Amino acid sequence: EAGVTQFPSHSVIEKGQTVTLRCDPISGHDNLYWYRRVMGKEIKFLLHFVKESKQDESGMPNNRFLAERTGGTYSTLKVQPAELEDSGVYFCASSPPMGFNYGYTFGSGTRLTVV
Amino acid sequence: SQQGEEDPQALSIQEGENATMNCSYKTSINNLQWYRQNSGRGLVHLILIRSNEREKHSGRLRVTLDTSKKSSSLLITASRAADTASYFCALSGNTPLVFGKGTRLSVIA
């Protein structure tokens, strides 16, 4: 079984540019989550999809962040325009239906550096 | 705050010793989970303990949960250099997992 795949693994962009991160969850996992870890700080929740619907987006920092999960399969997280404070590691995770009874499977993350 | 708080923030031990990390929290939970993050890699799920369980084992890992004290501990026995990583507790309630700041474990060979 393939794990959670994230692309790209690293991205370096200039302030003001746009970056799109992609996450492919485990097939059959209805729940998809985005988290972010800024250097040395806690891992913060961004949002949660159930299939194609946004279940909880309370962690999205501002309207420069846009997440989509068309068709309930892979998800994208777009940052536009990127700011310096957006630098960090963005993790995607997925879990089966009734996900709170299971651990999450995380991808390896995308390290975003905004310069 | 909903997040768990790990203690200590950093721990350095010799190979072969045991490592104990603690997690305290304030909210009610369905379960509590422990994850490991090796440098530059993603989070790996280690173990899940439900709110009605008190202790759970997985290989060299032992997790306890005391819901009356709202605390959990992760014990790694006979540590190895490969156990060097950051360890996070994560709380599962009615919201997606909430992570603490982690404990940075260094195992010296």
- A2 pLDDT higher than 80: no
Least Cα separation, residue B22 to chain A (angstroms): 16
The DSSP letter of residue A103 is: P
pLDDT of residue B94: 78
Selected residue with higher pLDDT from B25 and B1: B25
What does the alpha-carbon distance between residue B42 and residue A94 come to, in Å, rounded to a whole number?
13
Q: For chains A and B, what is the number of CB pairs under 8 angstroms?
A: 55
Q: Residue B96 and residue A103: Cβ atoms within 8 Å?
A: no
Q: Which of A33, A42, A105 sits opposite B100 (nearest CB)?
A: A42
Which residues of chain A lie closer than 8 angstroms to B39, CB-CB?
none
Q: Over the range A47-71, which residues count as b (16 or more CB within 10 Å of their CB) and which as e?
A: bbbeeeeeeeeebbeeeebebebee
Q: How far is CA B73 from the centre of its chain?
A: 6
Q: Residue A56 and residue B95: Cβ atoms within 8 Å?
A: yes
Q: What is the pLDDT of residues B47-99, one digit of tens each?
A: 999 999 999 999 999 999 999 999 999 999 999 999 999 999 999 887 889 99
Search chain A and give the residue with CA nearest B98: A45
Q: Poorest-confidence range of A28-32, A43-47, B64-68, B95-99?
A: B95-99
Mean pLDDT score across all residues of chain B: 93
Structure tokens of B10?
């950093």
What percent of chain B clears pLDDT 70, i.e. is strictly above it? 98
